[in-house]
Structure 1
Amino acid sequence: MSAKRPSLLPVFRQWFSDKGWQLRGYQQKMLAQKDKHNAILLIAPTGAGKTLSGFLPSLTELYQHDHSGMHTLYISPLKALTQDIHRNLLQPIEDMALPISAETRTGDTPSHKRQRQRKKPPHILLTTPESLMLMLSYADADRIFGKLKRVIIDEAHSLYTNKRGDFLALALARLNILSPTLQRIGLSATVAYPETLAAWLAGTKDTAHIIKVKAGEKPKVQLLKSKARMPFGGFMARYAIDDIYTAICEAKTTLVFVNTRAQSELLFQMLWEANTHSLPIALYHGSLSKEQRRKTETMMANGMLRAVVCTSALELGIDWGDVDKVIQVGAPKGVSRLLQRIGRANHRLDEPSEALLIPANRFEALECQAAITAIKKGQLDGEAPQPGALDIIPQFILNCLCSTSSTPDSLYKEILNATPYQGLERSDFDKLWQFTLDGGSALNAYERYQRLKIDDDGRYSPANRRVIQRHRQNIGTIVEAGRLKVKRIHRGNQGKIIGEVEESFAQQLTPTDTFYFSGEILKFEAIRDMQLHARPAKAKEPKIPSYAGGQMPLSTFLAEGVRELLAQPRRWRTLPAQVKDWLRLQQAFSQLPSPEKVLVEQFPFRQTNYTLFYTFDGRKANQTLGMLLTRRMEKMGVKPLSFSVTDYGLSISAVNPITAEQLTQLFQPDILGDELEDWMLQASMLKRAFRQVAVVSGLTEQRYHASQKTMKQVTFSTDLIYDTLRAHDPDHILLAVARADAERELLDVRRLANLLIRYVGQATLVNLEKVSPMAIPIVLNVRSEQIKGAGAQSVIEQASLYEEAQTMLDEVRALLATQSTP
């Protein structure tokens, strides 16, 4: 006999009825099983009422039973999402006049409100991982969280495979110490590996119970087939601006997604120039001021905008029901990421969401088509979680000790309760503990690193108040590049802050320079007190602010989809005619890359010899491969000059061509041995990784009191410490952590190793007289790395992308015609 399904309380039933809704099956399951599992993972498509489902158990409990203090903690990866959920949560509370208080706590929350929340916590608090960890650092954390019944983690899939997820897992382990019966609820729309996420969510409590909602109608995703000429390279899709604008005009409300903040600024300007109907179009990205972002959010929620040009800052969870179209400009880089963005449109399960993909170039058209095919098949991609990042542990140790004194044994056991750290060796913990205590043998002579003291009872606590202040001001795993506030001056020196740009970009500006920012053109005036002052202006060629970490990696799954598409010409019928023509020319003139072998083309070009490796394994792996191959080519006497990379391939120019025998020696897994070691020790890569580790672990800080260190200051400090440790304490735990981080985050060594192993003895060398059609976008990539070696004296002239590419393709067509190639 089946268990009786729970019925809604009358006040809730009436509210659902007034909305024209009824309780869905999975919402009934959430209510029925709320007391049966330590952890529940709800996987539901966007528009299914996922967030309300997560809150329903808490809302009904708080209505039925008096509860003093905090009952439910909601954790979101984004401040903007926290604000959006707060609005949506307050609506049913106000509509039903529920005696429930709900508030937000983020980095934007005023200090007086934070103090009040600590003294009198609301029933429901909506926050971020960083703000949660900060609250856990206070002595009254046990009082604040001691009566906590439930923690809801939204968009859980976006956290569990990265450092922020490790950081949150440690915070959850701490919450379970303060409130042992705490229940965890995870919410997610797109999950490639549900069981893995369920295990992460549960911690040491076996695994989470999974409730999976059947997906609604599959989205209608179209690839743009523009009449305008699609370029071979580039990243902005300028050719398609008229098509994008037409799509916006035809829709009610549109979200236009791009992959980087720089792209969003440029695309917004191009759309504004094309905006002949004066449609209200806004710009949204994470470097705009809080006020600017809130204004856009409010206007969008009130139906005052026709389109928003945005980045990943809006791809998670913000629900605007009137959005009826999503446009993705540029390749999606991942199927799950694309679906997450598409899910922001049309929150009705019985109607498909609509999306339009705009490739920026011809390779991206292949990537877009591979993503469309995967969506039709219901396939998702995603990264597998890594072992927990070790540089977070000193931060967590200090965070716990700021709240209450403890012992190494107790903290080690607590850390093991966090899923990513269940395999943490005691020996590694002891090294990290020693670093937290006094910096380790090479640094313990400096007072700055004497961070802990032992109390009379054998327990440890922070050495002084200054240690606590430094820690609290630098909590988190996001190491920001040095940033300057942008002050928009309108008269005299009066103006307002409209966002931030990175210090490295600001340092390049002179008083005559103009740049795009916040949807307009500004003229640089000066840098004063960590602020960039600029006035509105007009210019023909303004600069575009660049931001670190802007490039998204091509997912392994999508790369495989592109290889399969290339190998099956019958599937090309769905591609734009220009792309089909391009592929057929490649097939006739050279070869097409295949899933089984790596294609290597070689041809003379610009008085040098070019070698093309079609890897399809992402920019980071190709960058590392380029560094290693050119080092080995130098030893062989090939005399490499430079190389350039895209997500799809690697181009190396050299004085001499390579032979088939040399190719066999080049494409070997052993290149990850001596060449990698030599290069990493000489390159700045390790110092860059160490800088990140140093900030996260507390070795140095970005902020102290009211001052913010410039990135130049942070770099100088960490480089000095790095050299000191290398010389006097080469086995220091943070050097090992930096090495592991560099291999994973900066070099993508694992993916590169898989590539090399997969293609041992499986490389095809094709010698050509001219540049092949498929090589054009790679060899003309303007971002090239110059090689300092025997070929450095050779100079390669520059040419415009369009003219040279067109000339090359014309030459290829002419050559094919003379050869009568079918």
Structure 2
Amino acid sequence: MPAPRDIAKHWFAARGWKPFAFQKAVWAAVKRGESGLLHASTGAGKTYALWFAALQHLAPPPAPAVAPATKRKPPMAPLTVLWITPMRALAADTLRALQRPIDDLNIPWSLGLRTGDTGSSERARQGRRLPSTLVTTPESLTLLLTRENAATELASVRLVVVDEWHELLGNKRGVQLQLALARLRSWQPGLMVWGISATLGNQLQAQQVLLPAGDGISVQGEKAKTLLVDTLLPETIERFPWAGHMGLRMLKQVAAQIEACNSCLVFTNTRAQAEVWYQALLEARPDWAGLIALHHSSLARETRDWVEQALKEGQLRAVVCTSSLDLGVDFLPVERVLQIGSAKGVARLMQRAGRSGHAPGRPSRVTLVPTHSLELVEAAAAQAAVAARHIEAREPPHKPLDVLVQHLVSMALGGGFEPPALLDEVRSTWAYRDLSDEEWTWALAFVRHGGHSLTAYPDYQRVAPDAEGRWRVPDARLARRHRMSIGTIVSDASLQLKFWSKGGGGRTLGNVEEGFIARLRPGDGFLFAGRLLELVRVENMTAYVKRSTARKAAVPRWNGGRMPLSSELADAVVAQLDAAARGEYQSPALQAVRPLLELQGQWSALPTSHTLLAETLKSREGWHLFLYPFAGRQVHLGLASLLAWRLSQSKPLSFSIAVNDYGLELLSATAVDWPQALASDWLSPDNLLHDVLASLNAGELALRRFREIARISGLVFGGYPGAQKSTRQVQASSGLFFEVFKQYDAGNLLLGQAQEEVLRQELDVQHLEHTLQRLQQRRLDIHSIKRATPLAFPLMVERFRESLSSEKLADRIQRMVNDLEQAAGPEEGA
């Protein structure tokens, strides 16, 4: 048996491993009681860097290998380590990884898992005694903090490890975790907190958010992991591409790549695309039944668990998946990754690539599969950006008051709080470091009686001071409601999907968004979990289905399918176009798309980093402007609305708008002198905030943001199990609150938060301002075109997608492509 503090050396040596310098640095830092951020490449050994630090310096010494029969097992240590993960799949995988050294070294430490998937019996067992190490999520940690004896149960925690910190850094779940960590620090001043990350573009800020006291250290991994990025080139290149394809024309080539390796992951950007690709692969290769699988977050937990375990054991040739397998799940058999369509971001692509070769020293390989020709340019750009490690920054939210309100009620449940002490605790977090006294007073009033307009309603009198001045939740019913609402910092309403059974109790398949099911009638077919299903009935937030024999079926379209192109990847795309404008086509992907780019140059010009390309066109529809800032879909939406509004101030005009990640289209039925308009100050960043709010239906956008805020802050309750409210009911309730606050409580800070989130998240005004400043530094390159160019064509398709009704979109597009191909003439070498 190794000496108590040599267990890492012993365990590593038994496997023929040697600890890396960064792992030793973490072990030494934890021995000194320090906190920090560990940034190292995927598969480099980050998990064991923190885990063996805990085992060597916080765990009891290993127990004897064989205890005498007359002796009892050594008592398990109290809860000492909290391991926070952002995803349930990652939590289960982490637990398995942590268990191995415990078993091998016979360390008297118990491990447990606490997520939304944890069963009632395990929850009850943890209610009696928490394990020595608990792997959990931010929501489940907050739920633990709402227990009356939380201060006693969690006061023994000495180390918190936040895995995949970059995934939490930029959203409200990360803020929820910041507040939870502040509470733990108040109980354990010497608490060590460590973040683990592999893809961060703003490491210093990420460390400051996690460790706001500034007492942490930064540990960097050995070296950047070798990432091999290549592109699967299509057999033919269309010169007039358009977005929206599933990419199935690449099916034959993708199947050949899958067959050429023992195990791979096929990543898609949406669950709908994953469903379609899984079904298409099975139809193309029926002999792969049982050898390929489907994985996304809407599938039942049992299905996801089976897929993950089978993949680990090397039983599967391929898994078609979404971001549900993005994060640090350890699948050693996976040799390579295929990415269907653009990953839209450098960090996302690197994260997915890291699912292959997930071991120290092994390279990771990702093959990009373009779904249309312009994605070949993105592929070349992504390869260059990955090589240069141009990783996106994750911007943390600032002072979301809905999360603060939820936290106040949670802390009132968890033993109660005294406002002055809790205020100091809240202000110790990065998110609320500049919380004003007025905002704090408003938040206390809001949880005590609902603010100015809800004082008369008992349901909003959630917290009140007791006789000793300690604020608590006095009503057991409101306490139950709040605990059920802690996980609302996330998602859209969904329905449970079950097989129909006359006796009830049909098998659960997973969850699907309510908005999709609402568009179906009983008897309609759809594709889910790789099966053709038929809707039978909807009852109590459950959609009952049976197997269908229909040949065609709808595919659920979950929200979030249009991820915007990141700034870093957009800049990399422009750099590739710069090279093409100089006649340099160095990468295979750029060489393949050369005919398209040369046609763009012949009919107009290529965008560059020094020019702002604008194309004007007069057609039967009216006067078109195509503009190519390459700033991403969200910024282009704000920019298009801003331009349209500013132009309409000089004379009455109405516009149709279309945007994609590369540019925008404005179409007016009235004549517009586009060169004169662009030569004026329409692109000025002056008075930006006023003009953006005036150019859009800001009230409707704010209402949409307010729906989420209302759920998080506890204004709207989603219902009890078996009696959940529908999305329409939740929307109606939040809309009512929105209007009441506007009329009778205009100073309600949640209204201001809704507008701020619109500007920051929906429109990305800060990025829009930066884009306008950049555009003013570029030379305007205006071209009057006779027909839609390869870059303009996809923008026209985006507009048709929203407006066509009697004519099928595909028919209209094909007719346009035929006309344009005739105008372009035969392609050389085709």
TM-score by length of 1: 0.93
* Offset, 1:157: 1.3
**Partner of residue 600, structure 1:** 614
Deviation readout 1:470-498 (Å, 9 max, x if unpaired): 11110035343221111134788663110
Match of 1:317 among 317, 328, 339: 328
**Partner of residue 21, structure 1:** 17
Q: What is the identity, as a one-letter code, of the residue corresponding to 1:21?
A: W
For 1:323 and 1:617, the matched residues in 2 are separated by 35
**Partner of residue 222, structure 2:** 214
**Partner of residue 63, structure 1:** 60
**Partner of residue 748, structure 1:** 764
For 1:38 and 1:424, the matched residues in 2 are separated by 28
Deviation readout 1:761-813 (Å, 9 max, x if unpaired): 85433221111122112211267556xxxxx9x99995536523532432442
Deviation readout 1:607-661 (Å, 9 max, x if unpaired): 3332212122222222233333334444455744522221111122221342122
Structure 1 residues 223 and 603 mapped into 2: Cα distance closer, same or farther (>3 Å)?
same
**Partner of residue 182, structure 1:** 191
For 2:552 and 2:447, the matched residues in 1 are separated by 50
**Partner of residue 414, structure 1:** 425
The question of whether the paired residues in 2 share the 8 Å contact of 1:642 and 1:784 is answered with: no
**Partner of residue 71, structure 2:** none
Moved more, 696-705 or 410-419: 696-705
For 1:13 and 1:759, the matched residues in 2 are separated by 57
**Partner of residue 775, structure 1:** 792
**Partner of residue 160, structure 1:** 169
Q: What is the identity, as a one-letter code, of the residue corresponding to 1:753?
A: E
**Partner of residue 677, structure 2:** 662
Moved more, 509-518 or 253-262: 509-518
Deviation readout 1:333-370 (Å, 9 max, x if unpaired): 11111111101101243332111001222232222211
For 2:278 and 2:366, the matched residues in 1 are separated by 19
Local SS of the residue matching 2:509: strand
The question of whether the paired residues in 1 share the 8 Å contact of 2:295 and 2:322 is answered with: yes
Local SS of the residue matching 1:103: strand
| Gapped regions of structure 1 (runs ≥ 5) | 1-5, 787-791, 818-822
For 1:785 and 1:668, the matched residues in 2 are separated by 29
User: Pairwise mapping of residues 242-641 of structure 1 onto structure 2 (< 5 A)?
Assistant: 242-275=252-285, 277-278=287-288, 280-489=291-500, 495-569=506-580, 570-574=583-587, 575-637=589-651, 639-641=653-655
For 1:448 and 1:217, the matched residues in 2 are separated by 54
Local SS of the residue matching 1:63: coil
Structure 1 residues 184 and 488 mapped into 2: Cα distance closer, same or farther (>3 Å)?
same
For 2:639 and 2:193, the matched residues in 1 are separated by 42
Q: Using the aligned pairs only, state the percent identity.
A: 32
For 2:361 and 2:31, the matched residues in 1 are separated by 31
Q: What is the identity, as a one-letter code, of the residue corresponding to 1:573?
A: Q
**Partner of residue 783, structure 2:** 766
* Offset, 1:687: 0.7
For 2:502 and 2:306, the matched residues in 1 are separated by 23
For 1:768 and 1:7, the matched residues in 2 are separated by 78
User: Pairwise mapping of residues 41-52 of structure 1 onto structure 2 (< 5 A)?
Assistant: 41-52=37-48
For 2:344 and 2:650, the matched residues in 1 are separated by 36
- 1:804 equivalent in alignment to 2:811: no
Deviation readout 1:165-220 (Å, 9 max, x if unpaired): 1111111001111211110111111221221122122122x142111112255211
For 2:235 and 2:535, the matched residues in 1 are separated by 38
| Gapped regions of structure 2 (runs ≥ 5) | 63-74
Local SS of the residue matching 2:94: helix
- 1:100 equivalent in alignment to 2:109: yes
Q: What is the identity, as a one-letter code, of the residue corresponding to 1:708?
A: Q
- 1:709 equivalent in alignment to 2:705: no
* Offset, 1:565: 1.4
Q: Which runs of 4+ in 1 moved over 6 A?
A: 490-494, 794-797
Deviation readout 1:3-24 (Å, 9 max, x if unpaired): xxx9984554443233222222
Deviation readout 1:578-634 (Å, 9 max, x if unpaired): 521111111111011122332221113453332212122222222233333334444
For 2:605 and 2:319, the matched residues in 1 are separated by 42
The question of whether the paired residues in 1 share the 8 Å contact of 2:141 and 2:180 is answered with: yes
* Offset, 1:272: 1.7
Deviation readout 1:229-265 (Å, 9 max, x if unpaired): 4544324112211111111110111111111111111
* Offset, 1:375: 1.5
**Partner of residue 169, structure 1:** 178
Structure 1 residues 546 and 176 mapped into 2: Cα distance closer, same or farther (>3 Å)?
same
Moved more, 276-285 or 290-299: 276-285
Aligned residues: 805
Structure 1 residues 551 and 514 mapped into 2: Cα distance closer, same or farther (>3 Å)?
same
Moved more, 127-136 or 409-418: 409-418
Structure 1 residues 630 and 512 mapped into 2: Cα distance closer, same or farther (>3 Å)?
farther
The question of whether the paired residues in 1 share the 8 Å contact of 2:614 and 2:783 is answered with: yes
For 1:17 and 1:98, the matched residues in 2 are separated by 18
* Offset, 1:82: 0.6
Local SS of the residue matching 2:730: helix
Structure 1 residues 250 and 419 mapped into 2: Cα distance closer, same or farther (>3 Å)?
same
- 1:677 equivalent in alignment to 2:693: yes
For 2:144 and 2:812, the matched residues in 1 are separated by 53
The question of whether the paired residues in 2 share the 8 Å contact of 1:74 and 1:153 is answered with: yes
Structure 1 residues 469 and 581 mapped into 2: Cα distance closer, same or farther (>3 Å)?
same
Q: What is the identity, as a one-letter code, of the residue corresponding to 1:50?
A: K
For 2:293 and 2:133, the matched residues in 1 are separated by 32
Q: What is the identity, as a one-letter code, of the residue corresponding to 1:239?
A: R
Moved more, 164-173 or 426-435: 426-435
**Partner of residue 702, structure 2:** 686
For 1:305 and 1:619, the matched residues in 2 are separated by 37
Moved more, 300-309 or 804-813: 804-813
TM-score by length of 2: 0.92
Moved more, 617-626 or 172-181: 617-626
Local SS of the residue matching 2:507: strand
Local SS of the residue matching 1:539: coil
* Offset, 1:538: 3.3
The question of whether the paired residues in 2 share the 8 Å contact of 1:216 and 1:350 is answered with: no
Moved more, 764-773 or 701-710: 701-710
**Partner of residue 711, structure 2:** 695
